[in-house]
Amino acid sequence: MPGETDLKMILKSLAPIVLDDTYVFCTVAGAAYGDYVEAKPIASFSEREGLTLIVTQAHADEFGLAYEGLFSCISLQVHSSLESVGLTAAVAGKLAAHNISANIVAGYYHDHLFVPQAQASEAVTLLAELSRH
């Protein structure tokens, strides 16, 4: 089933939900994709400087992984196409206007925003507002 490409329809259908866990971003120099699988990353990305892992705070603590900042994951329930244009800009722009950082990860079906945990509630309110316009 292909994802939605019409930005107006995507924005009307955001349906953001906050996942229960607290997430952190970690980096491990010299690690390769597939390393640290036991830490159960929900995402990873190989960079020249090291392997970035997005894991729950509990898993980071369990495996002694260093991190800075605590994040909530807001999952947008709309199934947007990977080729849709403007969603990231619209969401990031709305949150940036209220001084909320957003680290956005696209999955095949949904986009996921990692926002500072203390601002998650405000972010969801702003995203709901964005859906109504």
Residue spans of the domains in the chain: they are 7-132
As a whole number, mean pLDDT of residues 29-56 equals: 94
- The Cα 116–Cα 23 span in angstroms is 9
Flag whether pLDDT at 82 surpasses 90.
Answer: no
- The Cα 124–Cα 133 span in angstroms is 15
Angle at the Cα of 14 from the Cα atoms of 87 and 104, rounded to 5 degrees: 50
What is the distance of C-alpha 83 from the center of its chain? 18
Q: What is the pLDDT of residue 24?
A: 98
pTM strictly above 0.85:
yes
* Tokens coding 57: 């705070």
Residue entry with tokens 């955001």: 14
pLDDT, tens digit (0-9, with 9 covering 90-100), for 84-114: 888 899 999 999 999 999 999 999 899 999 9
User: Which of 2-6, 67-71, 80-84, 91-95 is least confident?
Assistant: 2-6
Q: Which is it for the CA torsion 71, 19, 65, 54, positive or negative?
A: negative
63 Cβ contact partners less than 8 Å away, ≥ 6 residues apart: 36, 38, 39
In the chain, which ranges are E strands?
16-28, 43-47, 50-56, 71-76, 103-106, 111-116
CATH superfamily for 7-132 is: VC0802-like (3.30.2130.10)
